[in-house]
Structure 1
Amino acid sequence: MATKVIFNSVVNWFIGRRIDQIERFIAHPYETQKGVLFSQLFMAEDTEYGKKWGFKNIKSIQDFQSQIPIVSYEDFEPYITRARQGESDIFWPGQIKKFAKSSGTTNAKSKFIPITEESLEDCHYKAGKDLISLYVNNHPDSELFQHKNLRLGGSSQIMKDFNTQFGDLSALLIENLPYWVEIINTPCRKVSLLGEWETKLKAIVEEVKNQDVGSMTGVPSWMMVLLTRLLKETNSPDIKTIWPNLEVFFHGGISFTPYREQYKKIMGGEINYYEIYNASEGFFGIQDRWGADDMLLMLDYGIFYEFIPMEEFGYSHPKTLTLDQVELGKNYAMLITTNGGLWRYLIGDTVKFTSKNPYRIKVSGRTKHYINAFGEELMIDNVEEALKCACQYTDAQIIDYTGAPIYMDRDHSGAHEWIFEFAKKPNDLERFIYEFDEKLKNINSDYEAKRYNNMTLQRPVVHIAKENLFYEWMSTRGKLGGQNKVPRLSNNREYIDPLLKLNTLS
């Protein structure tokens, strides 16, 4: 009892201290961000990249924006390749020994994102502590520390290459966690780092089915696969029967909207759901309020943020905004400068601000994941909202989906083609399509204009996927596991055509 009291006292002291720090950057966002930027510039001014772009001469944010180029991964890759091969002082001081391997969602080619000691400690691990701090601050009666946390990360093993390490970000984080953190996590490190997904899934179920799990952390789609397998293996009616002390699911990577009803259905009782926004490149946002659908932008993780209005995106010299210049409700492509050595790097996500005091955001889509074949500018957040509406009207539940254009020809208007895998099929498919289409018109004026009298766009073409279609498709692509995502939208047919073909096979 005395040990527990001491432990709780230490935890409460830490949480209180960190909440004070978060409130400080909320109160002083611009000063915090300016301090982050100039700290990074000072750290890297003697690197090859710093000398090339004159870091020492930068005296203002305007200097920084005019002197340093905006880069994609492909632009920055030559520097990363040299760092992976062991060269020091390329774009961050010293030798970088860890790289997160990420295939992304648009390229088959792997990306290798640098993970410095600073980004590991001051961004990724700090965010993990903040997630707990913000949650417990909202739920002071939480018993989180008395139970295990179920983590579901990627499937890649850590590999050695050029005397550096690379693997899924989750594998790198798990590999470098201190021992005391390992004690509260399940499955064990050995199982968490297994490479083959099916083998790993079986091992996780075997280990966790008799554990006392109080929290879960992972991507909603893959966690659902695990929980469904767990229910089947244990012949249990719901998750709460297995883990009566489960109180929260920390989720990220993809929108939770299509999965919310499925989780309610299998839980067997109420739990809390908290969203996070992280990637190999950094940890950006944490839901800081119970029941909210947006996230607090974390300003003191060694990441300096800029934002490109989507109407400027794709120009050679787009207008870029800092926090004090953004507007609510607009789509922005996010640029990051990080303590992992990325300089004005296009992460590929689009965000919307829901609040400026404090700065809160929602992820609205991907810069490469949209449909704009006819000027309709359809983003993922539009689709998610419309699908939520269509599901409510027709009592449907969606597991996975993807959409793409049907191109116009001389005799026909274009259309959007969709394939949906349902956990629960609509009670009226025609009504589902109608409500989906009408809601898109309601929330996207460009889409509505193109749908006028079917002149440019016909009504959506919808296919129902066979059971486990997306799982089978991801398996054929070698993309099973926690850090791989089903592409939701594409401006071409590279995803939907193979899915439709697979869907017709018995």
Structure 2
Amino acid sequence: MGLKAALSKPFAALVTKKIDRWKYQAATVQEKVREQLVSAAKNTTFGRDHHFSTIHSYEDFKEQVPVRDYEGLRPYIERVVAGESAVLWPGKPLYLAKTSGTTSGTKYIPLTRESMPEHITAARNALLTYIHETGNTSFVDGKMIFLQGSPELKEKNGIKIGRLSGIVANYVPTYLQKNRLPTYETNCIDDWETKVDAIVDETLKQDMRLISGIPPWVQMYFERISDKTGGKKIKDVFPNYSLFVYGGVNFEPYRARLEDMVGKGIDSIETYPASEGFIAYQDSQTEKGLLLLCNAGIFYEFIPVEEIFHEKPTRLSLGQVKLNENYALILSTNAGLWAYNIGDTVKFVSLNPYRIVVTGRIKHFISAFGEHVIGEEVEFALMQVAKEEGVEIIEFTVAPQVNPPAGELPYHEWFIEFGKPPVDMERFRLKVDQALQQKNTYYFDLIEGKVLQPLVIRIMKKNTFVDYMRSLGKLGGQNKLPRLANDRSIAEKIEGYIV
């Protein structure tokens, strides 16, 4: 065991002890966070506009600060981008994280002197809690790879601008720099496929032990390694590879494929980072869900998902939530976001401590016929049956077909790229449909009432979704394929790839 690995155990124990101090009294901690945020920002433009000096309770906060999405907060953010000081938070932000919005175009999310350290601390603590629980420190002494965006930053009105993963790349601790790959030069390559090839060349003969990234892009990295080595399993290329850190999408649809490519089971840590804040991470290999980070400069609110588009939706603080209810996630942060609708939906799988699972995106659903099918339900149905049938899924998306051929009932159309297809496609199709009916009673009623016919599966050519993302200029990095849509915008672009 190397020195870094040896030192990591007592450090992990110390950090875990500090986390334990707040995680079992998180609702009380959240009240203090809200008070601190409001106090710190009372003299900002936003604070004066919303009378922060008169806010003394959560009820006051709800009364004074309406829920907004990016468009609602845009007038303030534009003043921040223009270089104005003390608009949403005291001073100017250190960075603006640049993201791509479907409805808002390019979005700029502020990162401040107060919020930036929370991103770094959370990423570190995810690894330390794993070390404390498992005792596994072997990855600390080997090489680690982080598949992420370019660390090169631009500057506008005195504020540096870049992708979140690229900004964070500039904060890798000194004690990990020698372990970290790819090199800075390779990380700066813009074209994703060129970058992956360069990463393969750099890592192929290294002692890789930890690999981190969004699952579909890690899958591409593994495929390139397999091609380069004549079809070798990852365990034979990197015999000490032991830990996969991921976030951004549900791992389950990719698990079987990735585990087959690796050739052995390895531990994994799920994280929930966003430009708006580092929200949660998996703190246990045995308990379900991600620990909600309640002492990290974010005040959370939760809106029952069925009320999210109401004029005055019910807003709940952490102490008011219930198990297994779907909520829209609302954030107020020490980067100057206030009652901000991040667009994600979550549900709690534990209330002591508070642990969540991400269930989907507010805008990613199908309700063309009133069924309101969400991402969690679609992924569960498909992956449950795929596991039973020994089927391997590479990628998929789902869209409604409201104008079927004459004489046919409408249906949900599933576009699936298989690694290993079903032996009996018809049986597979009907089993997936039955699983979805069991998860969503509205969908069940529509099938029973002959409003919809059972779902239809389209088998897609190899690399359909890679080619689709490439066509959008969104290959790699933090970009993710929407798993379902309430229109046919994606379906129409990939229909030519149907086998």
Alpha-carbon distance, 1:144 to partner: 2.1
- Determine helix, strand or coil for the equivalent of 1:205: helix
Alpha-carbon distance, 1:8 to partner: 4.8
- Identify the match of residue 152 of structure 1 among 139, 147, 150: 147
Partner of 1:131 in structure 2? 126
Question: Contact between 1:399 and 1:423, CA under 8 Å: does it hold in 2?
Answer: yes
Question: Contact between 1:174 and 1:189, CA under 8 Å: does it hold in 2?
Answer: no
Partner of 1:21 in structure 2? 18
Per-residue CA shift, 1:371-392, capped at 9, x if unaligned?
0111111011111110012212
TM-score (normalizing by structure 1)? 0.95
Partner of 2:438 in structure 1? 442
Partner of 2:270 in structure 1? 275
- Identify the match of residue 304 of structure 1 among 287, 295, 299: 299
Partner of 2:356 in structure 1? 361
- Indicate whether 1:60 and 2:57 are aligned: yes
Alpha-carbon distance, 1:453 to partner: 4.1
- Determine helix, strand or coil for the equivalent of 1:457: coil
- Determine helix, strand or coil for the equivalent of 2:489: coil
Question: Contact between 2:417 and 2:462, CA under 8 Å: does it hold in 1?
Answer: yes
Question: Contact between 1:394 and 1:431, CA under 8 Å: does it hold in 2?
Answer: no
Q: Distance in 2 between matches of 1:108 and 1:221?
A: 25
Letter of the 1:109 partner, please give it.
Answer: G
- Identify the match of residue 202 of structure 1 among 197, 202, 216: 197
Question: Contact between 1:348 and 1:366, CA under 8 Å: does it hold in 2?
Answer: yes
Letter of the 1:435 partner, please give it.
Answer: K
- Indicate whether 1:40 and 2:37 are aligned: yes
- Identify the match of residue 415 of structure 2 among 396, 409, 419: 419
Question: Contact between 1:157 and 1:195, CA under 8 Å: does it hold in 2?
Answer: no
Please, which moves more after superposition, 425-434 or 408-417?
A: 408-417
Q: Distance in 2 between matches of 1:27 and 1:375?
A: 39
Alpha-carbon distance, 1:177 to partner: 3.3
Letter of the 1:133 partner, please give it.
Answer: L
Letter of the 1:313 partner, please give it.
Answer: I
Q: Which runs of 5+ in 2 are unaligned?
A: none
Partner of 1:321 in structure 2? 316
Partner of 2:282 in structure 1? 287
Q: Distance in 1 between matches of 2:276 and 2:220?
A: 26
Question: Contact between 1:150 and 1:186, CA under 8 Å: does it hold in 2?
Answer: yes
Alpha-carbon distance, 1:10 to partner: 4.2
- Counterparts of 1:74-223 in structure 2, within 5 Å, are 74-104=71-101, 106-107=102-103, 109-121=105-117, 123-154=118-149, 157-223=152-218
Alpha-carbon distance, 1:491 to partner: 0.8
Partner of 2:246 in structure 1? 251
Alpha-carbon distance, 1:477 to partner: 0.5
TM-score (normalizing by structure 2)? 0.96
- Determine helix, strand or coil for the equivalent of 2:92: coil
Letter of the 1:429 partner, please give it.
Answer: M
Partner of 2:426 in structure 1? 430
Q: Distance in 1 between matches of 2:170 and 2:315?
A: 37
Alpha-carbon distance, 1:99 to partner: 1.0
Q: Distance in 1 between matches of 2:257 and 2:487?
A: 30
Q: Which runs of 5+ in 1 are unaligned?
A: none
Partner of 1:343 in structure 2? 338
Question: Contact between 2:458 and 2:498, CA under 8 Å: does it hold in 1?
Answer: no
Per-residue CA shift, 1:208-261, capped at 9, x if unaligned?
111111111110011000111012112252111111111110111001111111
Per-residue CA shift, 1:17-68, capped at 9, x if unaligned?
2111211112211121111111111111111001110111110111111110
Q: Distance in 2 between matches of 1:108 and 1:172?
A: 22
- Identify the match of residue 451 of structure 1 among 442, 447, 452: 447
Question: Contact between 1:252 and 1:275, CA under 8 Å: does it hold in 2?
Answer: yes
Question: Contact between 1:119 and 1:282, CA under 8 Å: does it hold in 2?
Answer: yes
Letter of the 1:71 partner, please give it.
Answer: R
Q: Distance in 1 between matches of 2:401 and 2:180?
A: 46
Please, which moves more after superposition, 134-143 or 479-488?
A: 134-143
- Determine helix, strand or coil for the equivalent of 1:117: coil
Partner of 1:233 in structure 2? 228
Q: Distance in 2 between matches of 1:59 and 1:486?
A: 42
Q: Distance in 2 between matches of 1:129 and 1:254?
A: 20
Letter of the 2:409 partner, please give it.
Answer: S
Letter of the 2:328 partner, please give it.
Answer: A
Per-residue CA shift, 1:139-190, capped at 9, x if unaligned?
1143121111110012584223333221110101112434333222111222
Q: Distance in 1 between matches of 2:29 and 2:413?
A: 45
- Determine helix, strand or coil for the equivalent of 2:365: coil
Q: Distance in 1 between matches of 2:222 and 2:86?
A: 45
Letter of the 2:109 partner, please give it.
Answer: I
Question: Contact between 2:9 and 2:132, CA under 8 Å: does it hold in 1?
Answer: no
Q: 1:251 to 1:292 in 2, by over 3 A?
A: farther
- Determine helix, strand or coil for the equivalent of 2:373: coil
Question: Contact between 1:387 and 1:436, CA under 8 Å: does it hold in 2?
Answer: yes
Q: Distance in 2 between matches of 1:355 and 1:293?
A: 8
Per-residue CA shift, 1:247-290, capped at 9, x if unaligned?
11011100111111112211122211221111111111111221
Q: Distance in 1 between matches of 2:239 and 2:133?
A: 21
Give the % identical residues: 37
Letter of the 1:255 partner, please give it.
Answer: N
Q: Distance in 1 between matches of 2:187 and 2:22?
A: 35
- Determine helix, strand or coil for the equivalent of 2:280: strand
Alpha-carbon distance, 1:431 to partner: 1.1
Q: Distance in 2 between matches of 1:155 and 1:403?
A: 31
Per-residue CA shift, 1:94-119, capped at 9, x if unaligned?
11131111114x34711111111211
Q: Distance in 2 between matches of 1:13 and 1:291?
A: 22
Q: Distance in 2 between matches of 1:350 and 1:284?
A: 13
Letter of the 2:81 partner, please give it.
Answer: R
Partner of 1:377 in structure 2? 372
Partner of 1:395 in structure 2? 390
Question: Contact between 1:220 and 1:254, CA under 8 Å: does it hold in 2?
Answer: yes
